[in-house]
Structure 1
Amino acid sequence: MSKRKIKILDTTLRDGEQTPGVAFAPDEKLEIAKELDDLGIDIIEAGSAITSAGEREGIKKIIKEDLNAEIISFARIAKSDIDSAIDCGVDGIHLVFPSSDLHIEKKIKKTREEVRDMVAETSRYALDQGLTVELSAEDATRADREFLKEVFQTGLEEGVQRICICDTVSKMMPEQIYDLFSEMAKIINVPIAAHCHNDFGVGVANTLSALRAGGSEIHATINGLGERAGNSALEELALAISEFYSDEFEINLKLEKLYEISKIVEEHAGIPISPTKAIIGANAFAHEAGIHTHGVLSEATTYEPIAPEKVGQKRRLIFGKHTGKHAIENEIKRIGLKASDSQVDKIFNRIKDLGDKGKLVTDAEWTAIVDDVMGRSLEQVVTVEELTVTSGDTITPTAAVKIRYEDREFIEAGVGVGPVDATINAIRKVVSGISNINLQEYHVDAISGGTDAMVDVVVKLTDGKQIIDARGSNEDIIKASVQAMVNGVNRLLWNKKLSEGEK
């Protein structure tokens, strides 16, 4: 049986950017588009050209790159939208019309007949300008099916090249989507796309049902970004097709790049990925429970559905109250140490003690425990020599820091929304210059009661090869933040030296 080639339209730069609080600058759009193209995306919805001058600038930057992917703009059934897209030089448009009576009557205050005429006129106009047109029915899952067929037929008679059915507010379950797409596939002789949202947590399942019913194109976003609960997540769809439907469908994505592009989008969007997010979350291939770590170390497939490397991830063993001795012994061996049974017991008990107190055992604490029990000493590669912070109602929070790294001194200043943010920004400038170390996450892990409360700050740092957690504790949240950053930086640099054989 021949496989059906599935085209992927990525709408991270349009629908994904409609996530509340997300706005990509033109250069950020360009970087994401280049990564999407390298990933193997067929169609990139670069934005909605009518939106703003900055939006058009971003689309034009992408067009100039001459990428392999087809570059399109979102457009309403209005000539002004199409003209803006043409001005950007796009290959085509995602021409969207309201299809449900709710949207037709309440949103644009038109009649069905007027909408059908607008679709015919704008489709013809765009096609005459040489654009590829994907005609898309907004809120199709609440529309009258006979009306849907009429409008799609109108577009097909004009010559539109693709049809899209949108489950705009996730109003169908997978079996209903299957029924809808099956019916439409019988009368539509061009590729049919599925654009599903995730309001009820079934965006990916609905998209897969649409494919199985005859669809041949999917719309998705990196990290599942999008309005409300987001769009279907590209990484989840890609892995579902790869693992469960590879005999039926063919996609040409470099799956090993999924984690990398996920982190790039996370950084530019400013929306942290949940640790438990499928495929690309920090915990997707992390193991703590003793029975799990024992199993995965003996045979990875016992508790991992795929190899983490398939999507560019790495396995992580997390140490805490559920950790077993087998994982401790394995990790000690992995870093090139030999521990006696007594030393393993001591490490095991100290980790259990931290876990029983409700503490996250960070990577830095794990290695500090090992170093202490094994008699190793961590070289303080980076030390903070001076820190000055100013803040007030009429003063922009500012921090200045002097850090010593080996035999050199670095002085940097940072501003922020508050004194902690300013301090972190100042330190980030220094450590980025030292070893390209980036802060991925920052959070206050625990605060005790009282005005002299003890604050626990946990940070997640990476140098591109390692990802570690580190903690800082102090009555002063600024000092706790600095301590966490410095602990993490020292651990990363020390680990790097050890791996290179520099003792």
Structure 2
Amino acid sequence: MALTSEDKVAIARKLDELGVNVIEAGSAITSEGERESIRAVAAEGLNAEICSYCRIMKQDVDFALASNVDSIHLVAPVSDLHISVKLRKDRETVRQMAIETTEYAREHGLIVELSGEDASRADMDFLKSLYIDCVEAGADRLCFCDTVGLLVPERTEALFRDITSAVRAPLSIHCHNDFGLGTANTIAALRGGARQAHVTINGIGERSGNTSLEEVVMTIEWLYKQKTGINTKEIFKTSRLVSRLTGIPVAPNKSLVGGNAFTHEAGIHVHGLLADTSTYEPIKPEVIGRERKIVLGKHAGKSSVTLALKEMGLSVDDTQLHEVLDRVKEMGDHGKRVTDADLQTIAETVLNIQKEAKVVLEEYTVVSGNKVIPTASVRMKVDGKEVIEASIGDGPVDATLASIKKGIQSLGDVQLEEYHVDAITGGTDALVEVLVKLSKDGKMVTSRGARTDIVMASVEAVLNGINRLI
């Protein structure tokens, strides 16, 4: 995962809008490019404190100072395994390095959060004494790192009650999700006295990831009924932004922000939702900036179709409902997934609603080859006006879709969230089906295109989705 300066700034702005208190923008020691990215984030003038990861070495602090950060996350290995095997040193040497680096950073005006790496495997007496010494040296905050995810909630709460009673500075919790307990352990730490939690959007991080911000925030707000100060309506937009810029997809079954979190298919569930959405939803999707989705196919019932049409702002009588349902089931019987655009087209046909497409492709040209940068040009009608755009891309499809995106900028920021292609007949002239998921201002739609030409199938899918969105 490599983020450009522009990517980091975009994410930092969104995190600041979300209301986070501290943004760890990178590790200044890494490279000049990393330092440029951190400086770019620091120059944004955000409300959040901007932080750099540092080892217990003065040169790391110098690079952090050169990056204009407010604070450092100063990480000291504290387990004997890390001290002896990774650092090849002893406890007292690590203690002295941590104290001296803390003093050096504070002398130069930095806020210091001193972190015990692999704290869950450390000797607790040594860890507490190190914390106490570093607070005396000027550390503003402390952090307990469960570096390989070995904690369980019961032990976590007990540990934090013990440590917070022994140290004067606020203590943070930093969990990894190797056993899937990151959120549970973080909540347990907060119950035990932790004042701050280290989290990531979508739970991204080394190996199995870190504790998920969205899970911790919504657990505190909805299950413990405590305010976090986070603007929860921006959670889903932030999730999608981070997923898109990092290239790390969110699992469909991921809690809260996964594609299926507010998606309903079973008839009995949808029937319940029509009566009261709380029957099969723990929170309303709007709370985190989402929308409810109804999946349709051959198992669809009247309740599913009624609710899906209601979400589109369409109402039908019994006769029209049966006709829409028959057409949906017919598509399902042919193994088709009924997209939002499919349902809208079916419903508008049954209701005899004529809607002129806002975006119409008139022609496109693609140039591609093994020694040619893929380039595409498009001529479109956008809201009745002719638009001509050109763009390059990683391939002919990418170049064409990039040209379309440039051409529709006047209609808003439409993002391609997912792209899936299948060959649905055999041979070199196979019929290709493209399924896409598009988003705009937090709203999402799915649409399809089917052609023997993969570029045209992709264009058809994207334009269907764009016209559905706007």
TM range (shorter): over 0.9
Does 2:268 match 1:288? Answer: no
Does 2:398 match 1:421? Answer: yes
Q: How much has 1:330 moved relative to structure 2?
A: 4.3
Aligned residues of 2:83 and 2:89 also touching (Cα < 8 A): yes
Q: Which residue of 2 aligns with 1:128?
A: 107
How far apart, in 2, do the equivalents of 1:129 and 1:322 lie? Answer: 66
Does 2:60 match 1:81? Answer: yes
Q: TM-score, normalised by structure 2?
A: 0.93
Q: Which residue of 1 aligns with 2:214?
A: 235
Q: How much has 1:360 moved relative to structure 2?
A: 1.6
Residues 344-371 of structure 1, C-alpha deviation per residue, up to 9 Å, x if partnerless? 2221122123234332210011111112
Distance 1:393 1:152, change over 3 A: same
Residues matched between the structures, number: 470
Q: Which amino acid aligns with 1:190?
A: A
Query: Helix, strand or coil for the counterpart of 1:186?
Result: helix
Q: Which residue of 1 aligns with 2:365?
A: 388
Distance 1:338 1:154, change over 3 A: closer
Does 2:171 match 1:192? Answer: yes
Q: Which amino acid aligns with 2:456?
A: K
Aligned residues of 1:49 and 1:55 also touching (Cα < 8 A): yes
Q: Which residue of 2 aligns with 1:27?
A: 6
Segment drifting more, 171-180 vs 364-373: 171-180
Q: Which residue of 2 aligns with 1:152?
A: 131
Residues 96-153 of structure 1, C-alpha deviation per residue, up to 9 Å, x if partnerless? 0112222222222222222112112111211222322111011112223233223223
1:92 to 66, 71, 74: 71
Residues 213-248 of structure 1, C-alpha deviation per residue, up to 9 Å, x if partnerless? 2211100011212122211111110000111223xx
How far apart, in 2, do the equivalents of 1:101 and 1:334 lie? Answer: 58
Overall identity of the aligned pairs, in %: 47
1:312 to 289, 304, 307: 289
Distance 1:132 1:434, change over 3 A: closer
Residues 466-485 of structure 1: matches in 2 within 5 Å?
Answer: 466-485=443-462
Query: Helix, strand or coil for the counterpart of 2:144?
Result: strand
Structure 2 unaligned runs (5+)?
Answer: none
Distance 1:109 1:65, change over 3 A: same
Q: Calculate the aligned-residue CA RMSD, in Å.
A: 2.2
Q: Which amino acid aligns with 2:336?
A: K
Residues 254-273 of structure 1: matches in 2 within 5 Å?
Answer: 254-273=231-250
Aligned residues of 1:437 and 1:463 also touching (Cα < 8 A): yes
Q: How much has 1:41 moved relative to structure 2?
A: 1.5
Q: How much has 1:472 moved relative to structure 2?
A: 0.4
Residues 18-417 of structure 1: matches in 2 within 5 Å?
Answer: 21-23=1-3, 25-246=4-225, 250-332=227-309, 339-405=316-382, 407-417=384-394
Runs of at least 4 residues of structure 1 off by over 6 A? Answer: none
Bigger relative contact order, structure 1 or 2 (CA pairs below 8 A, ≥6 apart): 1
Distance 1:434 1:448, change over 3 A: same
Aligned residues of 1:22 and 1:270 also touching (Cα < 8 A): no
Residues 183-206 of structure 1, C-alpha deviation per residue, up to 9 Å, x if partnerless? 322322221110011122211111
Q: Which residue of 2 aligns with 1:491?
A: 468
Q: How much has 1:425 moved relative to structure 2?
A: 1.7
Q: Which amino acid aligns with 1:394?
A: K
Structure 1 unaligned runs (5+)?
Answer: 1-20, 494-503
Q: Which amino acid aligns with 1:271?
A: I
Q: TM-score, normalised by structure 1?
A: 0.87
Q: How much has 1:250 moved relative to structure 2?
A: 4.6
Does 2:436 match 1:459? Answer: yes
Segment drifting more, 429-438 vs 140-149: 429-438
Q: How much has 1:449 moved relative to structure 2?
A: 3.3
Segment drifting more, 475-484 vs 437-446: 437-446
